[in-house]
Amino acid sequence: MIKAFKMTVVFALTSALFGCANLSRSSDRGYGSKNSRRSSFNKRSSVVNKSPVPERDLINVSETTFLKKLENALSGRKELEQYSKALPWFSSDQEKIQFLQLPDFESRQRWLSDKGFNSRSSLVQSEMKELVEAQDIAIGMPQPLVRQSWGEPGTIEVSGNPQFRNERWLYHHYVSTPDGYKSEKKTVYFEGGKVIGWDVE
């Protein structure tokens, strides 16, 4: 009887051990080898030891957030139009912030005058004259110059408030090729009235 009991226990243990041996487990879960545990630890430590976000990037994010807050605070039609007209000629987000932090329409108008905004459009036009004459565009090119270079777009799609000039312009032309005329689609992307990129298909 005792011998039969011992045999049963030995058989049960042997079956359990062989059963576990046949199980397939992921190397990064449960019963991994020491090496797999070490590599798993290294994976985790590499995530933990990632270098912090550069301060410059944090400043850019907070600056952009602050700018959006100031833009959204513009309520009157007159103020929105004033900002919209000046938008393509700002040289940086810092300039936009300086402008928007001024208390009223008149002080903003004085600021534009003091900064020479009236002559900025002609200055930019002279800088980009060759591009316009070659019917080309460039990053940072204001919308009026894109119109001069590529003409009126077939479709204008607006993102958000139209006064902020975040737009996508779609052009559709037929161009001459050695194999005859072919359809060409151009898409220009604007942020704040300036080109940030384009696609040609």
Burial of 87 (0-12, 13-18, 19+ CB in 10 A): buried
Would 2 be classed as within a structural domain?
A: no
* Of 92, 112, 127, the domain-final residue: 127
Would 198 be classed as within a structural domain?
A: yes
Would 42 be classed as within a structural domain?
A: no
Would 32 be classed as within a structural domain?
A: no
Domain that holds residue 98: 56-127
For residue 187, give both structure tokens. 């898409």
Structurally, the chain folds into a number of domains equal to: 2
- Sheet harboring 194-200: ordered strands across? 155-158, 167-177, 180-191, 194-200
Greater confidence (46 vs 104) lies with 104
- Indicate the pTM of the whole model: 0.63
Per-residue pLDDT reduced to its tens digit, 105-155: 999 999 999 999 888 878 888 889 999 999 999 999 999 999 999 999 999
In a shared domain, residues 147 and 106: no
Residue with tokens 């079956």: 15
Residue 26 sits at φ, ψ, to 5 deg, of -70, 140
Per-residue pLDDT reduced to its tens digit, 37-53: 444 444 444 444 455 65
Whether residue 174 is predicted with pLDDT greater than 80 in this model: the reply is yes
In a shared domain, residues 65 and 110: yes
* Of 127, 151, 174, the domain-final residue: 127
